[in-house]
Structure 1
Amino acid sequence: MPYQTNLTSTVLFLVIFILAFFPGAFVTIFRLPLRLLDPTTSSSNRAISQPAHSSCCCTHAPPAPAVQSPQMSWFQKTFSLPSKSRGSYLITDHVTSSLPEIKNYKVGIVHLFVQHTSCALSMNENWDEEVREDMTDALERVVPYDDKGNMYRHSAEGRDDMPVSAQNAP
């Protein structure tokens, strides 16, 4: 027997659908009756200007300044990290010294793009120095050094582009 829907379940589904995928439309529809009932927000009252008085004993406050939204800005900069042998290194100080403009931002996103195939970035806590050593050990287990040259297909750029051990680093 096919499932039969009734009007209540259909309306409930539509309300949930609108709420989930179009929250702005739901709020607009919800506030519409309130706008119609409130005379201070109706379009006819907004167009009426205040009558001019020839003599007035009251003072008028100047209009409130418009609230300005914060300016969005971005910048792009290229910098180089010093060459290091295989391992995990803390680069925070180098990045912040290379990007002094970062101090002008309270909120934002930093995109770091490394243009080398055998380098990667990871974000870790830095309370304990052994975290970097643990990361280096874990990466050594995942991508071990290949002394004999038969573990990896990619070798077009030579040994400096392959997983390198500290003793073989340039």
Structure 2
Amino acid sequence: MSWHQQEIRLAPRARGFHLITDEITAALPALADLEVGLLHLQLLHTSASLTLNENADPDVRHDMDAFLRDLVPGDLPYFRHTLEGPDVRVI
């Protein structure tokens, strides 16, 4: 059994749900040679997270984004976490 560890830097993005599969697979070309494996991703960003979806319907990303924007608008005055600056809304 062998291990591989690597840092991958993703392009900056505005607030929302974004597909990153192509960037991950491009950064790890050895994935094409594997038959079995396990991939761990650690996101080193204080206000971002990863979700896993089958991506069969692009409306899922839209619906998840709309739900979270309604639940947590980006302009709440009592948010203390502002080091990364304001989020930019992209529609």
TM-score between the two structures when normalised by the length of structure 2: 0.85
Deviation at 1:138, TM superposition (A): 1.9
User: Percent of pairs identical after alignment?
Assistant: 40
Between Structure 1 and Structure 2, how many residues are aligned?
A: 90
Following TM superposition, where does structure 1 have runs of at least 4 consecutive aligned residues deviating by more than 4 angstroms? none
Task: Give the corresponding residue for 2:7.
Answer: 78
Cα separation, partners in 2 of 1:97 and 1:137, compared to 1, 3 Å? same
Greater C-alpha Rg: 1
Query: Does residue 85 of structure 2 align to residue 159 of structure 1?
Result: yes
1:106 and 1:116 map into 2 onto residues whose CA distance is 31
Residue among 13, 24, 30 paired with 1:101: 30
The answer for unaligned runs of 5 or more in structure 1 is 1-71
The answer for unaligned runs of 5 or more in structure 2 is none
Task: Give the corresponding residue for 1:144.
Answer: 73
Task: In structure 2, give the amino acid aligned to 1:166.
Answer: R
SS in 2 for 1:134: helix
Deviation at 1:135, TM superposition (A): 1.4
The one of the two structures with greater contact order (alpha-carbon pairs below 8 A, sep at least 6) is 2
Structure showing the higher helix proportion among its residues: 1
How do 1:1-170 and structure 2 match up within 5 A?
72-146=1-75, 150-155=77-82, 157-160=83-86, 164-166=87-89
2:70 and 2:3 map into 1 onto residues whose CA distance is 39
Deviation at 1:158, TM superposition (A): 5.0
